[in-house]
């Protein structure tokens, strides 16, 4: 045998082997493609009812979605009206606050006038009593011998506060009386 014949024989065997390998590879590829195709078909078959249900849901939502826009507009109108109402309430409360402050100022002025008039009347009574020779016992002296400001300045010191009645807001406050102190 010549080397050329051996070479041809080896090439023929290699060619047959390559064709067999190619046939086996193609067969395996066809099987794999069939399996993939079968799996894809099954997946599509399972997805079809889900897609049909989703279509039904979307169809059912269409009327509701059409109603959302008018609903949002109504909500905006309601919020605008509420804001307007709150603005009016705020203005009313501001007016009430101004009026209340004015009434409070008038009340304070009236209180000062009454205190001054009372102090003056008490001062007159004290003067008349002193001219008439009437002595007012200690602890029962009339207050109001001047203006409220003068009375506040004439408040007794802390040590004398226990001995004399306390003056608070134009009233005389006496120390509590116990049964033992009445017997003496």
Q: Which carries the bigger pLDDT value, residue 90 or residue 133?
A: 90
Check residue 164 and report its DSSP letter: S
CA distance 96 to 15: 109
CA distance 122 to 173: 17
pLDDT attached to residue 124: 78
CA distance 96 to 90: 10
pLDDT attached to residue 160: 46
CA distance 12 to 171: 137
Least confident range of 8-22, 80-94, 145-159: 145-159
- Supply 124's token pair: 């007159």
The model's pLDDT over 49-103, given as tens digits with 9 standing for 90+, comes to 988 898 888 888 888 888 888 888 899 999 999 999 888 888 888 888 877 877 7
The dihedral region occupied by 146, where left means phi > 0, alpha psi between -120 and 50, and beta the remainder, is left
Residue with tokens 């000062």: 112
- Supply 22's token pair: 């190619």
> pLDDT confidence of 37, banded at 50, 70, 90?
very high
Paired with 166 in beta bridges are 173
Of 52-61, 92-101, 123-132, 170-179, give the range with the top mean pLDDT. Answer: 52-61
Residue with tokens 């014949």: 5
CA distance 36 to 61: 36
Are 99 and 121 a contacting pair, CB within 8 Å? no
Whole-prediction pTM: 0.32
Label the pairing between strands 166-168 and 171-173.
Answer: antiparallel
pLDDT attached to residue 35: 93
């Amino acid at each position: 045998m010549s080397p050329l014949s051996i070479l041809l024989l080896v090439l023929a065997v290699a060619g047959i082997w390559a064709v067999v390998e190619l046939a086996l590879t193609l067969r395996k590829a066809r099987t794999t493609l069939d399996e993939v195709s079968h799996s894809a078909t099954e997946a599509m078959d399972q997805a079809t009812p889900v897609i049909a249900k989703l279509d039904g849901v979307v169809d059912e939502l269409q009327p509701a979605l059409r109603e959302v826009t008018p609903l949002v507009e109504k909500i905006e109108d309601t919020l605008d009206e509420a804001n307007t109402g709150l603005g009016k309430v705020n203005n009313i409360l501001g007016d009430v606050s101004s009026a209340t402050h004015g009434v409070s100022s008038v009340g304070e002025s009236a209180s000062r006038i009454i205190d001054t008039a009372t102090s003056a009347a008490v001062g007159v009574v004290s003067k008349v009593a002193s001219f008439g020779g009437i002595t007012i016992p200690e602890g029962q002296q009339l207050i109001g011998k001047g203006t409220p400001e003068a009375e506040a300045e004439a408040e007794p010191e802390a040590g004398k506060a226990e001995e004399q009645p306390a003056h608070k807001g134009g009233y005389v406050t006496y120390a509590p009386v116990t049964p033992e102190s009445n017997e003496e």
